[in-house]
Amino acid sequence: MGSMKVHQFARGFWEHEPSLTLGCKRLRPLAPKLANSETSVTASFDLKSFIRPESGPRKLGSSDDKRDSAQVETHPGGTRWNPTQEQIGILEMLYRGGMRTPNAQQIEQITAQLGKYGKIEGKNVFYWFQNHKARERQKQKRNSLGLSPCSRTPAPITTINLDSMGEVEREEDSPYKRKCRSWGFECLDDNNRLCREEGDRTLELFPLHPEGR
């Protein structure tokens, strides 16, 4: 599958045909927007913003290329994460402690911790919370029909702190919290699948608003 002789784009391929012939149906909301006639492209940000990281067209699998070295990362079975008892235990503990949607930092730490008990990636942690939350909710809903309608049992209070992890920051069920989940850098493996780099990064980017909204 890795056939893509990807070679980045030929720089100015469409450069001269920005709007092409498709500028007729779903254009901007109401009126023309223009604003960015030429300036944006020549504006200099071009390189600047790119040299930031370590700019280096990584492998990108030109041909097969098996330089996987100690790439034992991939679990032997190569399928999905198979949590160990310890991992589940910790996760549930955190869940019971009130954690519902850990942020990046938390995920990072949790993953690091759980990593001691078996292979695991950040996304596994993320998904686990997502699924667990959802399923607990279903279960609860289901029970609410056969049990007292008011035993919500919000969640015990515990305030666990995963080692160096600060505190759990209860989150009740608060639907919609606009927490800015996010996207990390994405890469893909030999099978053209996306994967995730867990280590610590140079975090940055995303200037982000002062939060004061």
Partner DNA sequence: GCAAATTAATGATTTATTCAAG
Partner DNA sequence: CTTGAATAAATCATTAATTTGC
For residues 174 and 132, give the distance between their C-alpha atoms in angstroms, rounded to a whole number: 15
Which of 60, 88, 104, 155 touches DNA by CB under 7 A?
88
47 is an interface residue for DNA by CB under 7 A: no
Question: What does 81 bind: its own copies, DNA, none (CB cut-off 5 to 8 Å by kind)?
Answer: DNA
Please give the size of the binding site for DNA, defined by CB under 7 A. 55
Helix (H) or strand (E) holding 187: strand 187-188
137 is an interface residue for DNA by CB under 7 A: yes
Nearer to DNA, 63 or 175 (CB): 175
Min CB(178)–DNA separation in Å: 4
* Sequence-separated (6 or more) residues with CB below 8 Å from residue 153: 140
Nearer to DNA, 63 or 146 (CB): 146
116 is an interface residue for DNA by CB under 7 A: no
By the 10 Å C-beta count (0-12 exposed, 13-18 middle, 19+ buried), 171 is classed as middle
- The residue among 114, 108, 50, 122 whose CA lies nearest residue 88 is 114
Give residues in contact with DNA (CB under 7 A): 1, 4, 7-8, 11-12, 15, 18, 21-22, 25-26, 28-34, 36, 52, 75, 77, 79-83, 88, 101, 123-124, 127-128, 130-135, 137, 173-183, 193, 209, 213
